[in-house]
Amino acid sequence: MNDNKLFTVRTYMGKEDYRNFLYIAILLKSKIKIPLMFLFIAFLSTLLAYSENQFYIKDFFISFSMLIIIFILTIIYKVETKIKQRVKTDKMGTFNSQGILDFYESFLIAKSTAIEGEWKLKYENFYKVFETKEYFITYFNIDQAALIRKKDMENKTIENLRSLYKNNLKNKYKIVKI
**Per-residue pLDDT tens digits for 112-162:** 877 778 889 999 999 999 999 999 999 988 888 889 999 999 999 999 999
Q: What angle do CA 5, 9, 11 make, to 5 degrees?
A: 155
DSSP codes of every residue in 41-63? HHHHHHHHHEETTEE-HHHHHHH
Sequence ranges of the domains in the chain: 7-13+98-175, 21-88
| Residues forming a β-bridge with 175 | 131
Q: How far apart are CA 175 and CA 178, in angstroms?
A: 9
DSSP 167: H
pLDDT band at 27 (very low <50, low <70, confident <90, very high): confident
- The C-alpha atoms of residue 58 and residue 49 are separated, in whole angstroms, by 8
pLDDT at 175: 92
Report phi then psi at 101, rounded to 5.
-120, 115
Instruction: Give the range among 21-25, 33-37, 90-94 with minimum mean pLDDT.
Output: 90-94
Q: Which of 16-20, 36-40, 89-93, 142-146 has the lowest mean pLDDT?
A: 89-93
Query: pLDDT confidence of 2, banded at 50, 70, 90?
Result: low
Q: What is the band of 178 on the pLDDT scale with cuts at 50, 70, 90?
A: confident
Average pLDDT over residues 18-41: 87
Burial-class residue 81 by CB neighbours within 10 Å (0-12, 13-18, 19+).
exposed
Nearest by Cα to 114 from 139, 89, 95: 95
What b/e sequence results for 130-156 when a residue is b if at least 16 CB atoms lie within 10 Å of its CB, and e otherwise?
A: bbbebbbbbbbeeeebbbbbbeebeee
**CATH architecture for segment(s) 7-13+98-175:** Roll (2.30)
Q: Tell me the sheet residues that pair with 41.
A: none
Q: What is the three-class DSSP state of 159?
A: helix
| CB-CB contact of 139 with 145 (8 Å) | yes
Q: Model pTM greater than 0.85? A: no
**Tens digits of per-residue pLDDT, 60-116?**
999 999 999 999 999 999 989 988 888 787 666 567 778 899 999 999 998 887 777
Residue 91: the pLDDT is 65
Kindly report the backbone phi and psi dihedral angles of residue 37, in degrees, each rounded to the nearest multiple of 5, phi listed first. Answer: -65, -40
